[in-house]
């Protein structure tokens, strides 16, 4: 399933992303950011540049899968507020806007059969 916020891009749900993990570029946060991301917080630049974090090069306003250090499945889907080069150079502020995360309302939505 894909969803859309207002007039923005179509974004794959986490359930779809878990089946087809290659459809989005991955940004990985360190272990300390996991609980904050799962509570719906945006992903800060420092969580993407610290040890344990990894980034695929993407431009600003790209839809990305947010992965966690030591985990195999994505824990969130977000939109980059800065390019990865800008995230590395500024290392301050919000890097990725958290759009959909594990156990949110969309995740708990029952499937139609």
- With respect to residue 91, please indicate whether it lies within any of the assigned structural domains: yes
- With respect to residue 111, please indicate whether it lies within any of the assigned structural domains: no
Q: Exposed, middle or buried by CB within 10 Å (0-12, 13-18, 19+), for 57?
A: exposed
- For the chain, how many structural domains are there in total? 1
State CA 70 to chain mean position distance. 15
- With respect to residue 37, please indicate whether it lies within any of the assigned structural domains: yes
- With respect to residue 18, please indicate whether it lies within any of the assigned structural domains: yes
CATH of the domain at 100: 3.10.400.20
Per-residue pLDDT tens digits for 10-66: 889 898 999 999 999 999 999 999 999 999 999 999 999 999 899 999 999 999 999
- With respect to residue 110, please indicate whether it lies within any of the assigned structural domains: no
- With respect to residue 6, please indicate whether it lies within any of the assigned structural domains: no
- With respect to residue 83, please indicate whether it lies within any of the assigned structural domains: yes
- With respect to residue 2, please indicate whether it lies within any of the assigned structural domains: no
CA neighbours within 13 Å on the CB side: how many for 68? 16
Domain that includes residue 17, residue range: 11-104
Q: Beta strands 2-4 and 26-29: pairing type?
A: unpaired
pLDDT at 109: 79
Per-residue pLDDT tens digits for 53-111: 999 999 999 999 999 998 999 999 999 999 999 999 999 999 999 999 998 888 887 76
């Amino acid at each position: 399933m894909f969803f859309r916020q207002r007039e923005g891009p179509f974004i794959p749900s986490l359930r779809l992303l878990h089946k087809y993990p290659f459809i989005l570029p991955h940004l990985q946060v360190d272990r300390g950011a996991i609980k904050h991301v799962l509570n719906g917080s945006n992903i800060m630049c420092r969580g993407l540049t610290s040890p344990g974090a990894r980034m695929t090069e993407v431009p600003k306003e790209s839809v990305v899968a947010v992965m966690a250090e030591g985990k195999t499945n994505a824990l969130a889907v977000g939109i980059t507020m800065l390019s990865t080069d800008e995230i590395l150079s500024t290392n301050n502020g919000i890097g990725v806007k958290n759009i959909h995360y594990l156990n949110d309302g969309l995740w708990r939505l029952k499937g139609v059969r």
